């Protein structure tokens, strides 16, 4: 049966080639026996982890050299979807050749990024991002067994959703990558907030340090600021004289923010663009001084000349700046 018959072209295309290859042909699936480990003079660690959020489970095998703490061999068994198999296989590969202390620093984000075909394109559909969380947890469980400590002692990620084991870093990345706008989308893509719901907003049965509503609002605010900056930069790169009025204002504000405003603020002042009029021969930029600048003698001489010269240099020689 063709791939498109199974998943539909658009969904299948959301999986990287690495993921699909490892789904069909995992490189480290299997088990390591006590007999073969003892024959090498090494120590066997077998750790199990199950994800209640989706029913998947993984068993991780480590063969560790006790003299160096080096993981010389590693295998896994996975009970779950193809994405869980691919994530577990990549997790196992990342462990080999590292010390236990180094392996414990591997995160679910490291696993997902290692599965990408290129650095900018996610390896799996967003809804499958949670599959790599099992790798993150089973590594810490194995390390805790080897070192004789609790797995929780290795926790460096801030876990927002305990039910689905979703970290703050994962949530922020998924929201940005997929331009998520609602809590329902965040839950659909990451599983966070889909179970006890305490992490969604204050008032649940368990008080949390971070809530999805606040994380989403903060990330959306950052994204909006980045979009505004990108729009301004795009304006600077274009032909100022051919821009729309809105584009001209954004381009002027970007230049002012970059080269002028900080000096005005240092003296207790500021400025704002009030209007722009294009007569063909000139592009008149009407500004209003704020704070101490409004009564400063140089506001119509030196300061005005500096602002106009900067805009001429960066945008157009047709610019004239007129205070009102």
Q: Token digits for 249?
A: 């204002």
List the catalytic residue out of 95, 131, 161, 199: 131
Give pLDDT, residue 1: 33
Residues 56 and 17 in one domain: yes
Partners of 77 in the β-ladder = 59
Helix pair 82-95, 17-24: axis angle to 10 deg: 100
Distance CA 31, CA 78 (A): 11
Active site residue 196: no
Is the pLDDT confidence value at 53 over 90?
A: no
Mean residue pLDDT of the chain comes to 87
Is the pLDDT confidence value at 49 over 90?
A: no
Give pLDDT, residue 52: 58
Distance CA 126, CA 123 (A): 9
Residues 58 and 152 in one domain: yes
Is the pLDDT confidence value at 59 over 80?
A: yes
Give pLDDT, residue 226: 80
Residues 100 and 216 in one domain: no
Residues 9 and 127 in one domain: yes
CATH assignment of the domain containing 261: 3.30.300.130
Taking phi over 0 as left and psi of -120 to 50 as alpha, with beta for the rest, 114 belongs to alpha
Active site residue 54: yes
Q: Is 118 exposed, middle or buried (0-12, 13-18, 19+ CB in 10 A)?
A: exposed
pTM for this structure?
A: 0.53
Residues 16 and 139 in one domain: yes
Half-sphere exposure in the Cβ direction for 199 (13 Å, CA): 27
Distance CA 146, CA 102 (A): 13
Computed from CA positions of residues 124, 127, 129, 133, in that sequence, does the dihedral angle turn out positive or negative? negative
Average the pLDDT over 161-187 and give the result: 89
**Cα–Cα distances in angstroms (integers) from residue 110 to residues 17, 248, 285, in the given order:** 17, 42, 50
Quickly state the pLDDT bin for 165 (edges 50, 70, 90). confident
Residues 43 and 176 in one domain: no
Domain span at residue 32? 3-156
The domain tally of the chain equals 3
pLDDT in tens, 106-132: 877 788 889 999 988 888 886 677 677
| Terminal Cα distance for the chain, rounded | 72
Is the pLDDT confidence value at 72 over 80?
A: yes
Residues 11 and 78 in one domain: yes
Contacts of 115 (CB under 8 A, 6+ apart): 16, 18, 19, 22, 86, 87, 90, 123, 124
Quickly state the pLDDT bin for 8 (edges 50, 70, 90). very low
List the catalytic residue out of 54, 161, 163, 293: 54
Q: Which helix (H) or strand (E) covers residue 286, if one does?
A: strand 283-291
Residues 126 and 12 in one domain: yes
Distance CA 101, CA 88 (A): 19
> H/E/C letters for each residue in 256-280?
HHHHCHHHHHHCCEEEEEEEEEECC
Residues 14 and 104 in one domain: yes
Q: What percent of the chain has pLDDT over 70?
A: 90
């Amino acid at each position: 049966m063709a791939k498109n018959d199974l998943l539909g072209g658009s969904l299948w295309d959301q999986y990287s080639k690495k993921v699909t290859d490892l789904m069909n042909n995992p490189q480290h699936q299997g088990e390591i026996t006590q007999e073969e480990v003892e024959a090498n003079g090494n120590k066997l660690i077998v750790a199990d982890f199950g994800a209640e959020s989706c029913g998947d489970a993984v068993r991780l095998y480590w063969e560790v050299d006790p003299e160096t703490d080096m993981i010389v061999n590693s295998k896994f068994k996975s009970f779950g979807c193809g994405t869980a198999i691919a994530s577990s296989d990549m997790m196992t590969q990342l462990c080999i050749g590292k010390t236990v202390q180094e392996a414990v620093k591997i995160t679910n984000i490291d696993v997902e990024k290692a599965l990408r075909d290129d650095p900018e394109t996610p390896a799996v559909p967003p809804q499958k991002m949670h599959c790599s969380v099992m790798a993150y947890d089973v590594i810490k469980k194995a390390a805790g067994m080897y070192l004789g400590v609790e797995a929780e002692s290795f926790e460096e990620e801030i876990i927002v959703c305990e039910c689905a084991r979703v970290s703050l870093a994962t949530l922020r990345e998924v929201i940005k990558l997929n331009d998520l706008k609602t809590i329902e989308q965040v839950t659909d893509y990451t599983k966070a907030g889909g179970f006890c719901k305490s992490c969604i907003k204050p008032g649940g049965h368990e008080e949390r340090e971070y809530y999805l509503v606040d994380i989403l609002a903060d990330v959306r605010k950052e994204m909006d600021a980045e979009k505004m900056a990108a729009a301004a930069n795009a304006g600077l790169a274009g032909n100022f004289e051919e821009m729309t009025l809105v584009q001209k204002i954004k381009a002027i504000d970007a230049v002012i923010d970059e080269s002028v405003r900080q000096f005005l603020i240092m003296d207790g002042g500021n400025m704002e663009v009030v209007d722009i009029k294009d007569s063909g021969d000139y592009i008149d930029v009407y500004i209003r001084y704020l704070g101490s600048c409004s009564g400063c003698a140089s506001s119509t001489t030196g300061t005005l000349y500096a602002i106009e010269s900067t805009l001429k240099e960066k945008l157009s020689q047709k610019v004239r700046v007129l205070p009102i």
